[in-house]
Amino acid sequence: MKKTTVLGLLVIFITTASFTFFQGKPWQAPADKAKVANPLKGDAGAVAAGKTLWNQHCASCHGKTGLGDGSKSAQLETAPPDFSKAAFQAQTDGSLFYKTAEGRDDMPAFKKKIPDQEDIWSLVNFMRSLKK
């Protein structure tokens, strides 16, 4: 009986430790992708287009103002970040583009749902407008 209990506890510990380890990994875009320049930087029309796309594809998880408080956020394994915080805003435009296009874990890849790269750049521009 004791061997079964110890074995069960060991399995629980390993599973929990593995989950914690993998969930805690920071999400870094590859260096070459992070350096890509935003071709629509400073374009007010792109911000407006990005807001429309945001409301359609992103607000349900990230919230209308990017605070990570969307209606679906509680159902996710990883809480969406607060896009208004300095740590988020410090990322390069290329990093934001890459993460939006490629996705990871709960964050879906949008390169097929939003195949026009200019539209993803518009989303990046809108994300920039969410800073405090």
Q: Name the residue ranges covered by the structural domains of the chain.
A: 26-128
CA dist 125 and 41 (Å) reads 7
The closest of 111, 115, 91 to 102, measured between CA atoms, is 111
Residue pLDDT, tens place only, 5-63: 555 444 454 544 444 444 568 999 999 999 999 999 999 999 999 999 999 999 999 99
What is the topology classification, in CATH, of domain 26-128? Cytochrome Bc1 Complex; Chain D, domain 2 (1.10.760)
What does the pLDDT read at residue 69?
97
Yes or no: say if 106 and 78 are a contact pair by the CB < 8 Å rule. Answer: yes
pLDDT reported for residue 53: 98
pLDDT tier for residue 115 given thresholds of 50, 70 and 90: very high
Average model confidence (pLDDT) for the chain?
88
Residue matched to tokens 């969930």: 23
Cβ atoms within 10 A of the Cβ of 42, count?
9
